[in-house]
Chain A
Amino acid sequence: MRALDLHEAMRRLPDITGAAVWRIGEIPTGDLGGRGGPVGPGLLSASIGTMEQAVETMGLGQIAEIWFVTQDTQCLALRSGHWQAVVVGGLEMDVDDIRDRLTGLLADDDEPGA
């Protein structure tokens, strides 16, 4: 599956308002529901990538998942194999459920040559 297809699938997850997905070494694909404009998905992805790099540099290992919440948004970033994905949603988003679904989506696609 290509990033575009994966993005489509992610957008169908419940209560998701934005999503971006990318493989290591590729440009993030997606949208954040209009937030941040065309730069939004890249900026969020790169920022998460930066945090990953910092954590790795400090010898704390590789981040598998990041979740944060603001006054009106939740954001979940996951890594699965060579895929990385970020989804954002409102406070009503069930993060546990989304995590499971998203992990499934990415894992299904994490096949050699995908």
Chain B
Amino acid sequence: MRPSEAAHLAREALARGDSAQAGAIAERLLAEFASYPPARLVRALLAEQANDSDSALDDLRAVTSVEPTNAEARAAQARLFQRRGDTDRARMAARQAVELVPTDPEVLATALEILNVEADSLETSAAVLARVHLNCGWPDLAERHARAAVTESPERVDVRLTLAEALWRLGRLPACEAECRVVADQAEECVRAAVMRAHILSERGRTAEGQELLDRIGRIDPEFREARELLGTLEVHRLVLPGAVEVSLPPEILRQSNGSDNPSAESPPAGGADSSAAPAAEPTPANVERERLAEFSGESADQTLPPPTDRDLPESEVSDDADASSPSAGDDAPVAPEPLRRDDSAGPQESPDVGEPSADAAPRTAEDATADSVAADDEPTAGASFSTFDWARHLIEQSEWTEAVRVLTDIVAANDPDEARVDGLLLEAVAHRELRGSAWKLLGDHYMQTGRPQAAADAYLRAANVAGRSTG
């Protein structure tokens, strides 16, 4: 299970009042990724419920250090400060939450309540305008307002980060780097700033350093969501995004989450195999072997073009997209295209045997590819937990491009309310040359569905460019 899915389960448990389960999942996640913001946020909310405001504020401080633009954390801070009677700080945090333009109505409602204003009577500050313009894809306007906002509130790290991102999107990398440094001074674990710095390093020819920095981000953001989001907007970059790490939850938690007593619904039947593998999972993606696998497996983990620079693996030549789309060495069981996935250290310890491929138990390593390709046919029906999203990822991993496009099209047509999830999947898809044109088009469709025409226009343009390139 991906950490974000586990965190989602924790939030669900929290929402239905099952604090024990929410806490158990959060602790399980934090045991592997000590700074993972969604888990820290859950823990903070639990502490808030338990009237332990010190612990809650500690966790929230950690969350906002990693994600200075996390509006929910700011709103929670505001609530806690208000509960302590610290009105000034409560209002400041609430204002920050509002100015981060939260999409969650509850977050907005909390902040507005603390500010004691109606949404209509909020004054439009430079910070809000900067955020809105950045969200709309207008970095030049965002930069102008962000500069004004920085002048007004130089201590606000979220505003600095907005400015840094606007500069990054404008390609003004030296200025962006300077702002990232300021951000890092105040929020040293800030993932977004680190991603931009990693990219800047790689653009300066220091790809290895950039890659190392990016890999370190995996300890905090194991799914590299922010990196995918940022780097996905680039036509070309030299960084390799490691594959998603997975976590295993104890079967009893999964059963409770499923609301089912069927132990096979989510967890592997070999119980101990999975749980024994989990502690051995190496959460750090800075793993040379895995990098080699990533290179070897083509660009599945790469957002765009494979880096031609200082990655001196000869396999990278061999396993470029064109090769990945056709079985290597004339075999019908593709070995090389089995893409990057969780850490190798965990993979072999998992039981690859008997076909009980839950969502989490998708093929683990390249060497398992043959067995998995056999099991793959059963996967959509074998487990109820195998979602369309998992299926799409599986097809992509198996280089079944036509079918992958069909499934991705279905996903977009279904208009899943979890926009970010669809965004993430499609941004993963555009990393594959064979899917790029279709995936950009689908991303455009999805952006249109979700009321983001500027982003849609950009995605459609990219799709048109891909089509133009392939025909020209």
A-B pairs with beta carbons under 8 Å apart, 25 shown: A22-B448, A25-B415, A27-B445, A27-B448, A37-B464, A39-B441, A39-B460, A39-B463, A42-B444, A43-B460, A43-B463, A43-B464, A45-B456, A46-B448, A46-B454, A46-B456, A46-B457, A47-B453, A47-B457, A49-B453, A50-B453, A50-B457, A53-B454, A54-B136, A57-B136
The closest CB in chain A to the CB of B459 belongs to A46
Q: Is B402 an interface residue (CB 8 A)?
A: no
With A46-B447, A46-B448 already in contact, the answer to whether A39 and B467 are too (CB < 8 A) is yes
Q: Which 6 residue pairs are nearest across A and B when measured between Cβ atoms? A: A49-B453, A46-B456, A43-B460, A46-B457, A27-B445, A50-B454
Q: Is A89 an interface residue (CB 8 A)?
A: no
Chain B positions 100 through 142: 1 when the CB is less than 8 Å from some CB of chain A, otherwise 0: 0000000000000000000000000000000011001010000
B residues contacting A by CB (< 8 A) are 132-133, 136, 138, 412-413, 415, 441, 444-445, 447-451, 453-454, 456-457, 459-461, 463-464, 467
Give the chain A neighbours of B448 by CB distance below 8 A: 22, 26-28, 42, 45-46, 49
With A27-B445, A38-B441, A57-B132 already in contact, the answer to whether A46 and B467 are too (CB < 8 A) is no
The closest CB in chain B to the CB of A26 belongs to B449
Q: B138, B453, B461 — which one has the most chain A CB atoms within 10 A of its CB? A: B453
Give the chain B neighbours of A69 by CB distance below 8 A: none
The closest CB in chain A to the CB of B137 belongs to A50
The closest CB in chain A to the CB of B467 belongs to A37
Q: Is A52 an interface residue (CB 8 A)?
A: yes
Interface of chain A residues 25 through 43 with chain B (CB within 8 A): 25-28, 36-40, 42-43
Give the chain A neighbours of B467 by CB distance below 8 A: 37, 39
* Complex: A2 Cα to B450 Cα, angstroms: 19
Give the chain A neighbours of B461 by CB distance below 8 A: 43
* Complex: A26 Cα to B464 Cα, angstroms: 20
Give the chain B neighbours of A24 by CB distance below 8 A: 451
With A26-B448, A26-B449 already in contact, the answer to whether A46 and B460 are too (CB < 8 A) is yes
- The main secondary structure of chain A at its interface with chain B is helix
The closest CB in chain A to the CB of B441 belongs to A39
Q: Is the CB of A53 within 8 A of B463?
A: no
Give the chain B neighbours of A27 by CB distance below 8 A: 412-413, 445, 448-449
Interface residue tally on A, bucketed by range: 20 to 34
Query: How many Cβ-Cβ contacts under 8 Å join chain A to chain B?
Result: 69
The closest CB in chain B to the CB of A45 belongs to B448
Closest approach, in angstroms, between the C-beta of A68 and any C-beta of chain B? 15
Give the chain A neighbours of B454 by CB distance below 8 A: 46, 49-50, 53
* Complex: A57 Cα to B138 Cα, angstroms: 12
Which of A26, A37, A40, A53 touches B453 (beta carbons < 8 Å)? A53
* Complex: A46 Cα to B415 Cα, angstroms: 17
Give the chain A neighbours of B445 by CB distance below 8 A: 27, 42
Closest approach, in angstroms, between the C-beta of B419 and any C-beta of chain A? 11
Give the chain A neighbours of B451 by CB distance below 8 A: 24-25
Give the chain B neighbours of A28 by CB distance below 8 A: 448
* Complex: A5 Cα to B132 Cα, angstroms: 36
Give the chain B neighbours of A57 by CB distance below 8 A: 132-133, 136
Closest approach, in angstroms, between the C-beta of B131 and any C-beta of chain A? 12
* Complex: A46 Cα to B137 Cα, angstroms: 13
The closest CB in chain B to the CB of A37 belongs to B467
The closest CB in chain B to the CB of A43 belongs to B460
Closest approach, in angstroms, between the C-beta of A54 and any C-beta of chain B? 8
Closest approach, in angstroms, between the C-beta of B190 and any C-beta of chain A? 27
Q: Is the CB of A25 within 8 A of B136?
A: no
* Complex: A12 Cα to B210 Cα, angstroms: 56
Give the chain B neighbours of A37 by CB distance below 8 A: 464, 467
* Complex: A26 Cα to B447 Cα, angstroms: 9
Closest approach, in angstroms, between the C-beta of A41 and any C-beta of chain B? 9
Give the chain A neighbours of B450 by CB distance below 8 A: 25
With A27-B445, A28-B448, A57-B132 already in contact, the answer to whether A36 and B453 are too (CB < 8 A) is no
Closest approach, in angstroms, between the C-beta of B233 and any C-beta of chain A? 16
Which of B136, B413, B449 touches A53 (beta carbons < 8 Å)? B136
* Complex: A43 Cα to B138 Cα, angstroms: 17
The closest CB in chain B to the CB of A28 belongs to B448
Closest approach, in angstroms, between the C-beta of A28 and any C-beta of chain B? 6
Which of A25, A47, A48 touches B449 (beta carbons < 8 Å)? A25
The closest CB in chain A to the CB of B442 belongs to A27
Which of A25, A26, A42, A53 touches B460 (beta carbons < 8 Å)? A42
